[in-house]
Amino acid sequence: MATRIGFNPHVTALPAYNAGLNLAVAQRISGRDDIARLASNENPDGCSPEVLAALAPAVVEPWRYADPACAALREALGAHLGIAPDCIVAGNGSEEMIAAVSRAVLQPGQEVLTVVPSFGLHEIEPLAVGARVTKVAMTADLDFDLDALVAALAWAPRLFMLSSPWNPVGPALSREALMRLVGAMSPDTLLVFDEAYFEYADGSDVPDVIALLSGAGVRFVVLRTFSKAYGLAGLRVGYAACSDAELAAALSKAKTPFNVNAAAQAAAMAALQDQAWMKASVARTRVERERVAVALRAMGFAPARSQTNFLFFDCGRSSTQVAEGLLHEGIIVKPWREPGYEQFLRVTIGHAGDNDRFLAALHRLTA
């Protein structure tokens, strides 16, 4: 007889994470080997050659447990950011730190404020611990709705979690906008500011958020990752830069002990040291981002302004259907699925050849 096991209702009720399509599936459906992978915001340039050297078998010892504290990496990050290493927690991707902050701070029934369209985990991880999530919609011109966010902050949510630059939309909060939101925050609200695309932001009005928030006396968790501009998505390493050591200690308790593996720690150290590689890659992506945005506008689309490595736009019909058409041509993109945004498509900026394939196929499918 089968045993009866109960599941945690908070977990069984979770929405599924909308992950990019698997390569093998795309190859089978399209009958092509050369898939243009424009769905998951990966770096088409790969990663620094210094990273590959750091992963050499003579350097990484798979049979040893890695340092559970990631001391060397946190030391290097502290020097890089100008903050104390004991305010930093390394994670198995910054995703793990979204889960850790939710576990460390939230209790069932407490309120979380975020935005919509949203990065799935900003909603999923709070829901998994039984919190309630309120989402403020973007404006008609595809930007943060500051007035609505200020109004919602008056209810003193336990967490205010958002990404800036904003996945999936693209814009970053300016210094003035961020200070306005911070001014509206209750002392009971913890700000979780996800900067996964921080390296791609190029506006001179995009502030040094860690310095700005530290100066404002706010308690915060800033999330950064090696998955995007540094090109280490497959190794899983990111980090939380916290306002204070007490907060960092709470996050550390909420993570698994050996969360960042030895290869990932070595790779992240090497990637951080090769700033020149990362900056050159970001510069190439920005040029392509502008070129693709111009081409989309010429086709009559209106992509949101982007400080990231992707573009987000209303394709005027079901984006799931457009994505299916693109898939048959060997191009993977991300159709948005949240209610009210089903006509929006997010396309990662790849190399010029892949971007051209995307533009040509989109034109055929929508003209």
**Nearer to ligand PLP by C-beta: 100 or 177?**
100
Shorter beta-carbon distance to ligand PLP: residue 41 or 252: 41
User: Residue 225: what are its φ and ψ, rounded to 5°?
Assistant: -145, 155
Question: How far apart are the C-alpha atoms of 258 and 201, rounded to whole Å?
Answer: 32
Cβ closer to ligand PLP: 239 or 277? 239
Q: Supply the minimum distance, in Å, between the C-beta of residue 228 and ligand PLP.
A: 6
Cβ burial, residue 2 (10 Å; 0-12/13-18/19+): exposed
Q: How far is the CB of 166 from ligand PLP (least distance, A)?
A: 8
* Cβ density class 147-166: b for 16+ within 10 Å, e for less: eebeebbeeebbbbbbbbbb
Q: How far is the CB of 301 from ligand PLP (least distance, A)?
A: 22
Sequential DSSP letters for 201-239: ---TTS--HHHHHHHHT--EEEEEESSSTT--TTT--EE
Say which residue the tokens 């995703």 belong to: 95
Q: Which residues bind ligand PLP (CB under 6 A)?
A: 41, 93-95, 119, 163, 167, 194, 196, 225, 227-228, 233, 238
Buried b (16+ CB within 10 A) or exposed e, 279-289: eebbebbbebb
Please state, in angstroms and rounded to a whole number, the distance separating the CA atoms of residues 332 and 132: 33
In the bound state with ligand PLP, the residue whose beta carbon lies nearer, of 167 and 307, is 167
Q: Cα angle vertex 19, ends 14, 21, to 5°?
A: 140
Nearer to ligand PLP, 116 or 233 (CB): 233
User: Which is nearer to ligand PLP, 14 or 233 (by Cβ)?
Assistant: 233
- The distance of Cα 335 from the centroid of its chain, to the nearest Å, equals 16
Using CB atoms, what's the residue nearest to ligand PLP? 93
Least Å from the CB of residue 136 to ligand PLP: 16
Q: C-beta of 214: minimal distance to ligand PLP in Å?
A: 21
Tell me the closest approach of the beta carbon of residue 70 to ligand PLP, in angstroms: 14
Q: In the complex, what is the shortest distance from the CB of residue 313 to ligand PLP, in angstroms, rounded to a whole number?
A: 17
Q: What 3-state class would DSSP assign to 104?
A: helix
Pick the closer one to ligand PLP by CB: 158 or 224: 224
Please report, to the nearest 10 degrees, the dihedral formed by the alpha carbons of residues 14, 19, 21, 23 taken in order.
-120
Pairing type for strands 238-242 and 88-91 reads antiparallel
